[in-house]
Structure 1
Amino acid sequence: MRKLILAAGLVSTLSACGGGGGLFNRERPDEFAVSRQAPLVIPPDFALVPPAPGTPAAAAVDSRSEAMQAMFGGPAARSASESAALNAAGRANAASGIRSSVGDPDTQVVDKGATTRDIIAAPEGDGQEARAATPQP
């Protein structure tokens, strides 16, 4: 009986919220009417000037080479120690365009196996986790 009275009270309370009159039914302002509209303004020209005579048109520039230049940069000046390290590593024998040849589908690769992959994926640190366990007699 208690549950029935509680349910009837809950239904009457909820029905009062959405009814035609009462405490919760009041006029609300229109949120679109409250906001102000900014006036239309002609944007500045940002001091744009026509291209100088003899310069290539924007459509004539190779976007691929521009993107490569932006990502990897051009030949940078090397310090003496960096040049010595590169020369010791065999800079003269290095293949030019290695990034292009690695991404080529015709490049032959050798599968080094799971051991090499595990060594590369080993956690950083002093190697406590990477030590081999000694066999127990």
Structure 2
Amino acid sequence: MTKIARSTLLLATAGMALSACQGGGVLGRDRPDEFAVQRQAPLVVPPDYDLEPPQPGAPRPAEGTASQQALDALFGGPQARSAIESDALARAGSADAGIRSNVGDPDTFTVDKGESTTAIIAAPEGDGQAAKAGIVG
């Protein structure tokens, strides 16, 4: 073989070898999404064998959601309270069970702002066309 034929054959072989390195086309392959993979909990034998089977598609109650697992991994879950926070909560005491209902009750007066505020709150609703302004002296 001549030098030109050998170098042409070598260049053609190198070109075919390099063309096989490119992705896509006929030689491309489908890869799994590495971000869609999530860790599976180990199998555990339940202590009670009379349990009902889970509903199809329902999340596993022991695992939580994938987003909750990610938040726990990033931020470490709930943290212990500091001494100052624990002392403030102890001094605050506990609220009555129905406190939100009592505060939202219209008959409960939580703050007394005086007669002017009471008059404004008790004023009938309207578009403001009959409103008058005056200077109290």
Regarding TM over 0.5, the answer is no
Q: What's the TM-score, normalizing by structure 1?
A: 0.29
Q: What's the TM-score, normalizing by structure 2?
A: 0.29
